[in-house]
Structure 1
Amino acid sequence: MYSTLIDQGDKLGVIVPRIDDRQIVFQAFEADRELKGMSQIIRARSMDASDHGFDPAFDPSRPISIVTEAGSKGLEFRAVHWLFCDDLRNVRQAETYYTVVTRAKTSMDAYFNGTLPKVLAASCASSDKDLW
């Protein structure tokens, strides 16, 4: 199913907390034989020397977009993979959680090393009540 939607132009979003994390994730994808050439870092223009040759457009041949939490605002992805979601939990605002979670059209996976941030855990808590 996802492959058909990707062929139609949908993107998979990989969202990370820090600017430096984008390059780490990109290099990991490039080192993987099956993922090499499938991802790109999405960022705004910086208006400095790093912009030389930089094209901010989404490349249709690279369906995996790597973006920071702040940079994800206004974007939409078929599915989101939020890496290191437990990092920066002490400085992250509630709006950031909302922004990241609402980037996904159909699914979101959150990856963490320690404990899941309470605001995310509470949003996924099971209910004893029948919802219907």
Structure 2
Amino acid sequence: MSSDHHGSGKAPMASASELKDFVTSAGSKVLVIDVRHPDASVEPSDAKSIERTGLPDPTNNYRPQAINLPWSRESNSMELPNVDKDTPIITHCGAGWRGQVAKEYLEQHGFTNVLNGGGPRESEEWNEFGSL
């Protein structure tokens, strides 16, 4: 198993220290992309995660540096963010797998500075970027 994995069966994701360094370096430029789906009929597993930690809500300044661009398992794609290709981006879902495929998808579309942050249940990692 590669050193990028945090245990058996988990998606490769950045460690808490990697995320801390990334966030510190990026500052206000960091963009967090939450790929969870707001419709539980589309992604039933997201309902529990969203109860624990809600989706970004700019109208209430909740997670102000985050946007919700759901990963579609049906099309194996997502909407691309309207930001520069070198923008520091952290992807996440509920636990890490869709965050990883979203990271790879963004990289395939020319984004050059992307980390997979896992998800709210990865508490040590989440503490580094979850409030952004």
Q: Same fold (TM over 0.5)?
A: no
Q: From the two aligned structures, give the one with the greater helix fraction.
A: 2
**Smaller-chain TM-score bracket:** 0.3 to 0.5
Q: From the two aligned structures, give the one with the greater strand fraction.
A: 1
Give TM-score, length-normalised by structure 1.
0.34
Give TM-score, length-normalised by structure 2.
0.34
